[in-house]
């Protein structure tokens, strides 16, 4: 007999899509049972390692945090990329949100995919695939996205939350209250709840700070209260877009001080833990390989270095379209050590005050929880 091909393990791209399938009574990658209401809680910046190490401050979640409750996120391990895969159900190379700051080649600039949307970066063009929410509505399942007011009309929301009715709510408690109301007032629905508070606290103070721990304790209490009210026909999943680690100021690396690390570089994008380096269009033949060699020679002991061709061939972005490919750096530098790369020529010095970091190809950043509640737990 020919052995069956192994089933690939669950990943972040499967979460929301599996919840829609469960609301339709269809088979799905997470083997979720059929439900009337499916809820996905996305906690920005709560990696599996973070939750494991802070388990004493999240007693409700930690009791349900089993070995099977860990899935693989995306690379780069950053919010725009993670939410892109969650909300479309496909790899970054397909939806095209392949980094925090990426090249917009048509306009010869680097754009911020969280906050840099403008008339030259149209959401429906930049990310043209149907979202899971659009697929839900087309299948007769109402879809809702519950989050802070400030994200209601953002470019990223227009790119990824299309099809969902946006329900603004100020605090974590308010968001779970709105989710409960949606469950009670509809016969069937797909509900997405976004929680950015832990990521914000982690960037500002570090994930081991009192502020981050306090946000985790608040979240844990609110999820516990929410779970107790779930009808028997409602299932919920708690997941995250990436993990986070703390990088001390003395661990910041000013890479531009080594001339060979910026030779022929026109633009710098990505994250401090996952740099995208874009070469001048008129750079000499072999400039990309030369730059990659220089990075490997000087930084290979604490970073993984790929050319764009190598990264795509290695499947780091999944199957990759031409549009997505053009946004990836000619050279990709993913930190392995607990460091962050900065360009001292960048006038935005406030970015270097950030403590919590993410983006790289490490388990602490790429492994996230996927905790089952309600009908999904049984």
Each domain of the chain, given as residue ranges in start order, spans: 12-90+129-244+362-374, 249-354
pLDDT, one tens digit per residue, over 239-249 is 999 999 999 99
pLDDT, one tens digit per residue, over 205-264 is 999 999 999 999 999 999 999 999 999 999 999 999 999 999 999 999 999 999 999 999
Structure tokens at 339: 């460091």
Residue 306 confidence (pLDDT):
98
Residue 4 confidence (pLDDT):
55
Strands (E), 101-185: 101-104, 109-112, 143-147, 165-168
Residue 6 confidence (pLDDT):
62
Q: What's the predicted TM-score (pTM) here?
A: 0.97
Q: Establish whether the linkage from the previous residue to 76 is cis, with ω within 30° of 0.
A: yes
Checking if the pLDDT of 166 tops 80, the result is yes
Q: Which fold has domain 249-354?
A: Gyrase A; domain 2 (3.30.1360)
Residue 3 confidence (pLDDT):
54
Confidence of residue 1 (pLDDT cuts 50, 70, 90): low
63: how many CB neighbours lie within 10 A of its CB?
A: 11
- In 3D space, the residue among 8, 26, 7 whose CA is nearest the CA of residue 135 turns out to be 26
Query: Mean pLDDT of all residues in the chain?
Result: 97
Nearby residues of 329 by Cβ (< 8 Å), 6 or more positions away: 99, 103, 269, 270, 275, 276, 277, 278, 308
pLDDT, one tens digit per residue, over 286-309 is 999 999 999 999 999 999 999 999
CATH architecture under which domain 12-90+129-244+362-374 falls? 3-Layer(aba) Sandwich (3.40)
């Amino acid at each position: 007999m020919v052995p069956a091909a192994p089933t690939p393990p669950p990943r972040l791209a499967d979460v929301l899509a599996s919840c829609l399938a469960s609301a339709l009574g269809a088979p799905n990658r997470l083997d979720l049972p059929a439900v009337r209401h499916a809820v996905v809680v996305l906690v920005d910046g709560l990696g599996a390692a973070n939750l494991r190490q802070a388990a004493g401050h999240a007693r409700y979640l930690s009791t349900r945090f089993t070995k099977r409750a860990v899935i693989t996120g995306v690379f780069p391990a950053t919010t725009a990329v993670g939410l892109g895969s969650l909300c479309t159900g496909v790899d970054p190379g397909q939806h095209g949100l392949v980094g925090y700051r990426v090249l917009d080649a048509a306009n010869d600039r680097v754009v911020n995919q969280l906050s840099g949307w403008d008339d030259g970066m149209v959401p429906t063009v930049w990310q043209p695939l149907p979202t899971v929410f659009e697929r839900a509505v087309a299948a007769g399942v109402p879809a809702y996205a519950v989050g802070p007011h400030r994200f209601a009309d953002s470019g990223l929301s227009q790119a990824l939350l299309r099809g969902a009715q946006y329900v603004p709510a100020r605090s974590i408690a308010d968001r779970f209250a709105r989710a409960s109301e949606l469950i009670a007032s509809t016969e069937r629905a797909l509900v997405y709840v976004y929680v950015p508070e832990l990521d914000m606290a982690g960037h500002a103070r570090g994930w081991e700070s009192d502020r981050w721990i306090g946000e985790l304790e608040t979240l844990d209490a609110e999820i516990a209260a929410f779970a107790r009210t779930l009808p028997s026909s409602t299932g919920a999943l708690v997941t995250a877009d990436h993990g986070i680690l703390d990088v001390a100021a003395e661990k910041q690396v000013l890479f531009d001080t080594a001339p060979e690390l910026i030779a022929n570089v026109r633009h710098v994008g990505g994250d401090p833990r996952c740099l995208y380096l874009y070469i001048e269009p008129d750079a000499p033949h072999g400039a990309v390989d030369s730059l990659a060699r220089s990075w490997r020679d000087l930084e290979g002991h604490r970073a993984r270095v790929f050319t764009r061709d190598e990264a795509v061939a290695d499947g780091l972005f999944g199957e990759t379209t031409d549009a997505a490919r053009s946004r990836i750096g000619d050279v990709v530098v993913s930190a392995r050590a607990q460091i962050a790369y900065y360009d001292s020529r960048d006038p935005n010095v406030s970015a270097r005050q950030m403590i919590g970091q993410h983006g790289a190809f490490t388990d602490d950043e790429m492994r996230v929880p996927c905790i089952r509640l309600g009908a999904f737990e049984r």
